[in-house]
Amino acid sequence: MGTYARQDIVFVRGEGCWLTAETGERYLDFGSGVAVNALGHAHPQLVAALKAQAEKLWHTSNLYRVEGQETVAEKLVRLTFAEKVFFCNSGAEACEGAIKVARRYHYVSGEPQRQRIIAFSGAFHGRTLATLAAAGNEKYLEGFGPTADGFDHVDLNDLEAVEAAIGPETAAIMLEPIQGEGGIRPASVDFLKAVRELCDKHGLLLVLDEVQTGMGRTGKLFAHEWAGITPDVMAIAKGFGGGFPVGAVLATAEAAKGMTPGTHGSTFGGNPLGMAVASTVLDIISEPDFLEAVRSKTLYLKQGLEGLKDQHPGTVEEVRGAGLLMGLKLKSHITPAQIVKAANEEKLLLVGAGDNCVRVLPPLIATDKDITEGLLALSRALARVARETS
């Protein structure tokens, strides 16, 4: 179906941060498949894990215990706030599952009227009907019939608006620590802490969507760690499978208490192939040295982007983001599509976002040399667009 306005490039191979097109041209991948290829392309340990599992067992169904799920769940429980995990295949499914967990929690707690979820304008939680309703973006909802009920929207970082939106039917507050698709818009540390406090005060669940921010992207395993808070429920996907489609809903035992046999399910969720890869991704990314290396690259990339803003004041308005989840907000007469196209011509892949932003999302394994090359290509792309628009 014609759901994508695709660029006319076909990639046939990938290695590290680099992709090779069928023409033989090499591109530096600073989009990471929209924050998915956290370990770059064809990471030898991921390839080995997938091959080894592929020769043993592909699928049995969730009618039986699945060894890989138990392994990955144990790791997630050890590494995060979570005590319970549900596996699925994508970010939208993880967010949809998180919404179900939150509503069901209040249902079994004897407060079935608590069904509404406070969410934030500019958010993105996926393309299912409920996750579209959660984000409330009119553009994506148009033409798809009645919008799923139960979501109240307020502005990010507006604590008073959040407090005013809380009522007797509120079940949860759901947000991305940094809005990715919305244009790399961070929730402030103070805001995240205050939202956690509001949840505690009013008996609400805090649901974090770390589909894009998680798995080391901001230099911590999960972005909420920077604020020193923990959620009750969290959706993850994207980098979790490093390119294999895997997602998960993580929760405290208390928040997950309504999720009893028969309440949720997935044919493919927690498939042995996905679990073999996710287990390896987790082992690599959760290493303190790995995360420390991400943090030091972060500084280098951020400084470089600030330098580009100074060099191209007519094009770049602001540098945004954390870790390797960075964005350039562009001047209003420039569009993200123009920058993405000019970058392509410089053999650099970037991703557009909302709020007139272009995203810079290198694989977490990017070296300083890769980052230097990316910054040089980006500088040439910015100059190219400045020339074309002047």
Task: Write the DSSP string, 134-190.
Answer: HHT-HHHHTTSSSPPS-EEEE-TT-HHHHHHH--TTEEEEEE-SEETTTTSEEPPHH
- Nearest approach, Cβ of residue 128 and ligand PLP (Å): 8
Task: Write the DSSP string, 185-245.
Answer: EEPPHHHHHHHHHHHHHHTPEEEEE-TTTTTTTTSSSSGGGGGT---SEEEE-GGGGBTB-
Answer yes or no whether residue 211 interacts with ligand PLP by CB under 6 A: yes
Which one of 90, 115, 170, 298 is in contact with ligand PLP (CB under 6 A)?
A: 90
- Nearest approach, Cβ of residue 201 and ligand PLP (Å): 26
Nearer to ligand PLP, 87 or 124 (CB): 124
**Interaction pattern, residues 231-250, with ligand PLP; x per rule: CB under 6 A:** ------x-------------
Q: Which residue is nearest to ligand PLP (CB)?
A: 91
Which one of 91, 177, 219, 363 is in contact with ligand PLP (CB under 6 A)?
A: 91
Tokens 């046999």 locate to: 261
Answer yes or no whether residue 180 interacts with ligand PLP by CB under 6 A: yes
Which one of 92, 233, 248, 351 is in contact with ligand PLP (CB under 6 A)?
A: 92
Answer yes or no whether residue 218 interacts with ligand PLP by CB under 6 A: no
Which candidate, 367, 345, 91, 83, places its Cα nearest to that of 232? 83
* Residue 111, C-beta contacts closer than 8 angstroms, at least 6 positions apart: none
Alpha-carbon span 93 to 237, nearest angstrom: 9
Alpha-carbon span 324 to 55, nearest angstrom: 35
Alpha-carbon span 137 to 67, nearest angstrom: 39
Which one of 31, 68, 126, 327 is in contact with ligand PLP (CB under 6 A)?
A: 126
Which one of 29, 181, 232, 373 is in contact with ligand PLP (CB under 6 A)?
A: 181
Alpha-carbon span 382 to 380, nearest angstrom: 5
The secondary structure of residue 1, as a DSSP letter, is -
Stretch that binds ligand PLP, among 207-215, 248-256, 307-315, 326-334 (CB under 6 A): 207-215
Which one of 96, 152, 209, 346 is in contact with ligand PLP (CB under 6 A)?
A: 209
- Nearest approach, Cβ of residue 125 and ligand PLP (Å): 5
Answer yes or no whether residue 96 interacts with ligand PLP by CB under 6 A: no
Nearer to ligand PLP, 181 or 232 (CB): 181
Answer yes or no whether residue 95 interacts with ligand PLP by CB under 6 A: yes
Token pair belonging to 344: 């392509």
- Nearest approach, Cβ of residue 359 and ligand PLP (Å): 10
- Nearest approach, Cβ of residue 332 and ligand PLP (Å): 24
Alpha-carbon span 208 to 102, nearest angstrom: 11
Alpha-carbon span 368 to 203, nearest angstrom: 46
- Nearest approach, Cβ of residue 55 and ligand PLP (Å): 27
- Nearest approach, Cβ of residue 30 and ligand PLP (Å): 16
Answer yes or no whether residue 85 interacts with ligand PLP by CB under 6 A: no
The H-or-E segment that residue 341 falls in is helix 336-345
- Chain residues binding ligand PLP by CB under 6 A are 34, 90-92, 95, 124-126, 176, 180-181, 209, 211-212, 237
